[in-house]
Amino acid sequence: MHSLGLEFDQRNVSLNVSIRSARLDMSRELVSFLEDDVPELITGITQVIISLVILASFGSILAMNAAGMTLIMLLLYSFYHHSFLRLNQALNNQTERQVTLLARGNHACLGKHLNLLFRWEVKLSDREAVLYGLIFLSVTGFIVANLWLAAVIPNISAGTIFTIVTYSWEFVQAALVLPMALQGLTRLYEITKRINGDK
């Protein structure tokens, strides 16, 4: 992180201090994503594959249902991708003005700036609430569908039904990492373009 920050600052010495400060903070998100989110994503994908294999061993329809639910999650995220990108861009634009506004010492301008930051953060939060609400509806449908599909398998025991529901839930927990990772990647895409001088 230390060397990344120094290299970034040397490459952006022509920018004003407010922008450099904000972008230096943003660059830390890249490192944080690689250190924290990527290992979690790899673990999640591994769990998704294991759960799919186990569900398929009880019936291919169970695994197809799980794959369908994953596709629905990814499609839902794709509808919100541009919205997340636009809101992150607006939030980052406002963040880049902070040091300049602080240096002016104008209380009214600072208050307006903080209100704008809050507004963009709330809009992002609202989009997340709608997206994950829809995702959890699809997850509920998937669990109910797999429970029903398990119950109609001929000569199935209660223990097998419990196992199917357990692995369906394991699958859901692992699959939820995917839209979260995509949301993180959307933010990092915007930050990377900004840091590389494309904005």
pLDDT of residue 9: 62
Q: Mean pLDDT over residues 89-112, rounded?
A: 85
Q: Does 90 have pLDDT greater than 90?
A: yes
Backbone angles phi, psi at 196, to 5 degrees: -80, 0
**Tens digits of per-residue pLDDT, 15-64?**
777 777 787 788 788 888 888 888 888 998 999 999 999 999 998 899 99
Tokens 């992150």, residue? 88
Dist CA 135 CA 137 (whole Å): 5
Pick from 23, 106, 129: nearest CA to 114: 106
Dist CA 15 CA 24 (whole Å): 12
Q: Does 12 have pLDDT greater than 90?
A: no
B/e letters for 133-162, b = 16+ CB within 10 Å, e = fewer, are: ebbeebbeebbebbeebbeeeeeeeeeebe
Dist CA 136 CA 5 (whole Å): 38
pTM above 0.85, yes or no: no
Q: Mean pLDDT over residues 60-70, rounded?
A: 91
**Tens digits of per-residue pLDDT, 124-175?**
999 999 999 999 999 999 999 998 988 888 888 888 888 998 999 999 998 9
pLDDT of residue 1: 52
Q: Does 117 have pLDDT greater than 70?
A: yes
pLDDT of residue 46: 92
Strand segments, DSSP code E, in 9-166 are none
Q: Which domains does the chain have, with CATH numbers?
A: 16-195 (1.20.1560.10)
pLDDT of residue 14: 63
Dist CA 21 CA 96 (whole Å): 7
Tokens 């600072």, residue? 110
Asked which of 41-55, 113-127, 184-198 is least confident by mean pLDDT, the reply is: 184-198
Q: How many angstroms separate the Cα of 82 from the Cα of each of 93, 145, 190? A: 16, 31, 11
Dist CA 178 CA 10 (whole Å): 35
